[in-house]
Amino acid sequence: MVSSVLVTSSMYKANAIVQNPPEILVLSEPTRPTTPQDWERFDFYASRIRELRCAGHSDSKQASRALSADLYRWLLASRPTHQLLPRLSSLIWKTSIFGTGLDCTPFLSSPQLSSVSIDMYGNGIPTTSHAILPALLRLSPDLQELRLWMREDWSTHPISRAFFGSFKKLRIIEMKSAMSSIFDLLTGLSTLPDLTKMNILISDYYVPDQRAQQRTAPRVVFRSLEELKLRSSFTPDTHEILRACHFPQLQCINLMYTTPWDERLSALDDFVCLISQCCSHSVLEMIEIVAREDWVDEDAEVQSVTAGVVLKPLIDFHRLCSFHLSADMRIVLDDGAVRDMAVAWPRLKCLALVNNHLSSAPPAAMTLKGLAYLARYCPLLETLAINVDTSSITAPPPSNGHCNRVLQSINAVRSPASGDPAAIGAFLHAIFPNFKRINASDETTPEDELVDGSWGAVEAVIEALKLQSASQQDDFVQKS
């Protein structure tokens, strides 16, 4: 694949058409009048281009290969009936200077175009970007991937539900939308038979009293959607969208939201219940929830969430392979709740329960016994971030042969190793034979997250036990 890069600038630089590195064709200013041979050479390279990238401004590294706005317009006007890039399949247009007259519409009619990404910011953008939308529908109705990131006031320039419903071959949509037009957008997108991925950012802008009109939302069913990413700085918006939608084929859901500090627990509880209601228990495989406070008071009391209670509605998702919860709360998880999760999620490969609050956390309720449940019932688990209490070991290392041979490290940056390093190391080695390290002693961990170096002694014990096991195995092989 050859990728062409247009760097728009107001300056002229004397550079011929170059190809460096070989897979990238960079267009720069010519040094002499154009001849028919030049056009033949241009068409030779143009016929090989599959992807066109346009950056809105040039930095010091790109200045020597910048293409002026005047030359860009001349290039398009020189042969108005000629298809400039006949085999173009991907268009990435990122610019903050659309108000100067630059336009990507000449490339939208490329017969093989299947992917368009438009990122427009700056003065004069709304008028130009709204002109782009009809051009997209008129010139590129067969798009398969569409990404629209614009600084828009969709409340004054709404998109009709019929607009996105007209892209019958669309598989991926990523865009920013105002809450005032979100349900028209979702209704149109839900009619697309091949839509599998949707990434929606809800704009912060809204007109007062509009939200009261949005409570009678339609019931929207996305019959083919497999991946959903939803971001909003206003929690009720995300709640409202999930209440209105049903995703029978959804495999991955990613929610990112901001909530007031006193509503953190109730917001999380609502999200968990809504996920259980709008997604199929027999299909969903990945859940990621990232919750942030709109204002963090480091001196305020850290709110605790009992994961075994709040996450209970998710136990029914038996095909779950990945669960990630990141919140500005203290996440408490006891051994019994861990056992229930481990038994319910035998396919689990990733489990992350991350407390983002910078205050020091007390010992977690889950002990090494909880880790033993994960090792026994989740043999595929390879990524684990969780707090663990090692202050006392009430049971010897398991000797029943149930272990996880995949997991090699644990992220436990907020949990110090407070028990006997030898006992902790022996326990971990028994349930995770290939275990190597705990991230609390990893040099790449930020200083504000390091609890201490207590895990280093545990890692040393584990390494010694691994060497001992390897030596015993070698002796057994030699004797046999």
pLDDT of residue 470: 74
Among the listed ranges 85-89, 150-154, 232-236, 363-367, which one has the minimum average pLDDT value? 150-154
How does pLDDT run across 418-466, given as a tens digit for each residue? 888 999 999 999 999 999 888 744 444 444 445 567 888 999 999 999 8
Q: Minimal CA–CA distance to 384: which of 355, 425, 361, 354?
A: 354
Confidence at 126, pLDDT banded by 50, 70, 90 = very low
Locate 125 and state its tokens: 């953008």
The DSSP secondary structure of 385-443, one letter per residue, reads E---B-S---SPPP-SS---SS--EEB-TT----S-HHHHHHHHHHH-TT--EEGGG-T
Using alpha carbons only, give the angle 108, 77, 52 rounded to the nearest 5 degrees.
Answer: 40
How does pLDDT run across 370-425, given as a tens digit for each residue? 999 999 999 999 999 998 888 877 666 666 678 999 999 998 877 888 888 999 99
Rg (CA), the chain: 28
Task: Report, as an integer, the average pLDDT of 54-66.
Answer: 54
* CA separation, residue 19 to residues 5, 99, 196, 398 (Å): 10, 30, 36, 62
pLDDT of residue 297: 59
> What is the SS3 string spanning 126-174?
HHHHHHHHHHHHHHCCCCCEEEEEECCCCCCCCCCHHHHHCCCCCCEEE
d(CA 223, CA 246): 8
Q: What is the percentage of the chain residues whose pLDDT exceeds 90? A: 36
pTM (2 d.p.): 0.83
What mean pLDDT value characterizes the chain? 79
Give yes or no for a contact between 42 and 17, defined as CB atoms under 8 angstroms apart.
yes
Residues 6+ apart with CB under 8 A from 241: 182, 186, 200, 202, 217, 230
* CA separation, residue 352 to residues 120, 256, 289, 333, 387 (Å): 35, 15, 10, 12, 10
Location of structure tokens 């060497």: 467
d(CA 323, CA 288): 6
The DSSP secondary structure of 288-319, one letter per residue, reads EEEEEESS--TTSPPPEEEHHHHTGGGGG-TT
